[in-house]
Structure 1
Amino acid sequence: MPPAKTSHGPADVTAATQKWRMLRSLSCGNKFENAARAQGATLVAGVDEVGRGALFGCVVAAAVILPENTRIRGLRDSKQLLRKDRERLARLVEEKAIAFAIEEVDVETIDRINIYQASRLAMTGAVARLMPQPDHLLIDAMRLDLPCAQTSIIYGDSLSISIAAASVLAKVYRDQRMRELHEVYPQYGLASHKGYSTPEHLAALEKYGPTPLHRRSFRPVAQFRLPWDAPSESISTDTATVPAEGGAC
């Protein structure tokens, strides 16, 4: 008689778990930085953003220029790191970097131009603040309207040390902003979910309604009337779907 089948095969693993395992298997190194230098670049900057899928607060981008062949053990996509490791690695990045910069784009701008364009605006602003200016950009699956040479890398924050460094700086910065804003709006649980669409956050939205710092153009927020809205005001949600992922904030 054949052995009983177990329920631990690939078909029983969720898509999210499969993606997480795949990302964990990727190696974060200097391959793309070295390729850019082989083409003549001398100052290669990694660029990434965080907060794109959140319902609350700003979107934040960072840009980082690291010295050639930098190695920082354990550095990888910020979403795969524990808070204590992210904060330790952020300090190392800041110590080793030739230059780094952080830029945030506020909720009002996100609602006015949409989250995709706001993310690009934050990235462009972070690059503009770098001194010295880079001559090649490595960007996580995006291109910017800048004259600088660029390489767009899918899963870049898991493959490029410079993009991973930017990811860590941006997340540490934004998470700290969310903890600060938790003191202003404690009933929403921002310190734990950082403004993302968790059951706790959605329940708080239903109970208390949105704050001025919730993204009104995102459908889970727009379904609730804001207490200061005029009766005739309506919020368009034609392009307000929360992305598939995860000024003042």
Structure 2
Amino acid sequence: MTQPDYTFEQAARDSGFLAIAGVDEVGRGPLAGPVVAAAVILNPANIPAGLNDSKKLTAKKRDALYDAIMAAADVSLAQATVAEIDEHNILRASHIAMVRAIAGLARPADYALIDGNLVPRGLAIANETIVKGDGRSLSIAAASVIAKVWRDRHMVDLAQQYPGYGWEKNAGYPTAAHKSGLANLGVTPHHRRSFKPVHNILYQE
């Protein structure tokens, strides 16, 4: 299994860029909750050990890495709301969150490594896209961990306010428990009305 490394970042540094941000988003598939993006500028002299695509890590390892990244790197988190997801679409909303995350960095980035194959509209700095970047670039892997841990914790908080959907375990993804909650309890303000399972409940003939 290949591990992410610092090759992309080093190439950007060799080209004269000083603040290279890895950018990733989490939460495109759920039926509820925001889409969350993170931008992370790693310190090449202090990169937390064990970084990888957040999906390949245990929850315990993600939590430990979240704290390590927060302590050692420049980090910015941003989200696009359920209303923005419904107004635009999930891809556009995820790009809005990415641009916000980059703009929110205390240390302005001059280069962005973007997970995926599309450059977010409105991104005003030099950049490159990397398909499956969270498994190839350490900075994007760090961003994937930050975004996932923050979003999972946010969904646990929302689950306290709206019990019965299993968000504390499924993070808003369309599991059997979540769909059962939708059918029995109805739609909450945190559900994405443009997503078919939610839309179908709201607009049943």
| TM-score normalised by L of structure 1 | 0.78
- What does residue 115 of structure 1 align with? 90
Secondary structure in 1 matching 2:79: strand
Secondary structure in 1 matching 2:146: helix
- What does residue 38 of structure 1 align with? 14
Shift of 1:173: 0.7
For 1:213 and 1:90, how far apart are their aligned partners in 2?
A: 25
For 1:93 and 1:119, how far apart are their aligned partners in 2?
A: 22
Secondary structure in 2 matching 1:223: helix
Which whole-Å deviations, capped at 9, do the CAs of 1:39-86 have from their partners, x for residues lacking one?
A: 111110000000111100101000010112543222111112111111
- What does residue 150 of structure 1 align with? 127
- What does residue 132 of structure 1 align with? 107
- Indicate which of 47, 51, 54 corresponds to 2:23: 47
AA at the equivalent of 1:30: Y
For 1:73 and 1:129, how far apart are their aligned partners in 2?
A: 25
- What does residue 162 of structure 1 align with? 139
Query: Does 2:185 correspond to 1:208?
Result: yes
1:59-74 matches, within 5 Å, as 59-68=35-44, 70-74=46-50
Q: Is the 2:48–2:72 Cα contact (8 Å) retained in structure 1?
A: no
Query: Does 2:163 correspond to 1:222?
Result: no
- What does residue 5 of structure 2 align with? 29
Q: Is the 2:134–2:140 Cα contact (8 Å) retained in structure 1?
A: yes
**Which structure would you say has the larger Rg?**
1
Q: Is the 1:30–1:69 Cα contact (8 Å) retained in structure 2?
A: no
AA at the equivalent of 2:42: L
Q: Is the 2:23–2:143 Cα contact (8 Å) retained in structure 1?
A: yes
1:76-91 matches, within 5 Å, as 76-91=52-67
AA at the equivalent of 2:112: L
5+ residue gaps, structure 1: 1-24, 226-233, 236-249
Secondary structure in 2 matching 1:60: strand
For 1:168 and 1:177, how far apart are their aligned partners in 2?
A: 14
Shift of 1:156: 0.3
Aligned-residue CA RMSD (Å): 1.3
Which whole-Å deviations, capped at 9, do the CAs of 1:109-144 have from their partners, x for residues lacking one?
A: 110011111000000000001121111100101312
5+ residue gaps, structure 2: none
Shift of 1:175: 0.6
Query: Does 2:39 correspond to 1:58?
Result: no
For 1:28 and 1:221, how far apart are their aligned partners in 2?
A: 37
AA at the equivalent of 1:162: S
AA at the equivalent of 2:161: V
AA at the equivalent of 2:167: L
Which whole-Å deviations, capped at 9, do the CAs of 1:19-51 have from their partners, x for residues lacking one?
A: xxxxxx122110110111111111100000001
| TM-score normalised by L of structure 2 | 0.95
